[in-house]
Structure 1
Amino acid sequence: MPRSGGASSYGPMLTLADIDTDAVTALLARYGLALERVPDGEAIPGSYWGESEAGIIGSTVYARGDTPVHSLLHEAGHLIVLAPEKRAAVHTDATDSIEEENAVCVLQALMGDALPGVGADRVLADMDAWGYTFRLGSARAYVEQDAEDAWGWLARAGLVDPATRRLR
């Protein structure tokens, strides 16, 4: 996959510097996670893709001001779907399965809706611009038409209400 830096249909990708960091911190705290701001220009600890992409170590999500919001939410999603005792062992890569990866892609859009000024639409557009690829051609089409397994996974994990498809 290509790394971020592109523009979505909304323009340049939305970054942490563009949104309310306190809202992100509060959202992550709901799931027992912490946000650690990394100074601009410094390497992001635990970043799988490097550059400005978010990193994860234990229960902490690392991000700089130029970190794309979709990246931060995706990496946080990986930690959220893990049992707390498994989080302690995470460093850089938390993917356990294809099913988990699919669930995290849906979860990051739902978390976008929980952040003021972000929204699922923006997260999905930025995912497409970054280079996520889905059978139906877009992240939105995947979430709306092709993600029944991911929705079921999230419901079984107690993270979404299956009737409303909203975060619990």
Structure 2
Amino acid sequence: MQAHDGSGAGDEGVLTVGDIDAGALAALLSRHGLSLQLVPDGAAIPGSYWGEPEAGLIGHQVFARADTPVHSVLHEACHLIVLPPERRERVHTDATDSIEEEDATCYLQIVLAEGLEGVGRHRLMRDMDTWGYTFRLGSARAWFEQDAGNARAWLQERGLLPAGDMHRRATAA
């Protein structure tokens, strides 16, 4: 898996924070000890690794504007979720350089998308592909369904996914 290259290519049709219920997104993040900080249209997004309109992160806060892609907010939030609390405190802009944490982040963002009305895992995976995430098997869905066992196990070992066959439940159509 490789994250978006920052080019902004292919961003048409990607769901943004302005397209969904931002309150529901904030509530989802809150359940994981995070806060969503909405910044005004056109304002700089603090802690954005790729630059606007990508989400930013500082400590326990995820920053976004109405034009920030939902997948970006979930991705940055999941970077924080997979970190131990003592590491979260020190995060500013760049959460990790670990391949295992990056893969776990991608997997968890897909799972969490199910908790957002109008998003869901299939839409999120499509948006990830549109935005420019790249996976060895060619798509986010193929990776999630066929090649993400290590990410799933990593999350389960840390209690970040329910025990049992999460993969089968998550991929059932």
Normalising TM by the smaller chain, what interval?
over 0.9
Matched, 1:99 2:103: no
Per the alignment, residue 10 of structure 2 pairs with 6
CA distance, structure 2, for counterparts of residue 146 and residue 68 of structure 1:
25
Q: Which amino acid aligns with 1:6?
A: G
Partner secondary structure for residue 140 of structure 1 = helix
Q: Deviations over 1:93-135 (max 9, x none)?
A: 0014100100100111111101111100111001101111111
Per the alignment, residue 34 of structure 1 pairs with 35
CA RMSD in angstroms comes to 1.5
Q: Which amino acid aligns with 1:101?
A: E
Per the alignment, residue 24 of structure 2 pairs with 23
Question: What percentage of residue pairs aligned between the two structures are identical?
Answer: 60
Q: Which amino acid aligns with 2:164?
A: A
Per the alignment, residue 134 of structure 1 pairs with 135
CA distance, structure 1, for counterparts of residue 165 and residue 116 of structure 2:
18
* CA separation of 1:4 and 1:121: change in aligned 2, threshold 3 A: farther
Partner secondary structure for residue 93 of structure 1 = coil
| Stretches of structure 2 lacking an aligned partner (at least 5 in a row) | none
CA distance, structure 2, for counterparts of residue 84 and residue 4 of structure 1:
31
Runs of 4+ that moved beyond 6 A = none
CA distance, structure 1, for counterparts of residue 163 and residue 127 of structure 2:
25
Q: Which amino acid aligns with 2:114?
A: D
TM-score normalised by the chain length of structure 2 = 0.90
Q: Which amino acid aligns with 1:105?
A: C
TM-score normalised by the chain length of structure 1 = 0.93
Larger proportion of strand: 1
Partner secondary structure for residue 129 of structure 2 = helix
Matched, 1:147 2:151: no
Q: Deviations over 1:8-28 (max 9, x none)?
A: xxx610000000111111110
Deviation at 1:86, TM superposition (A): 1.2
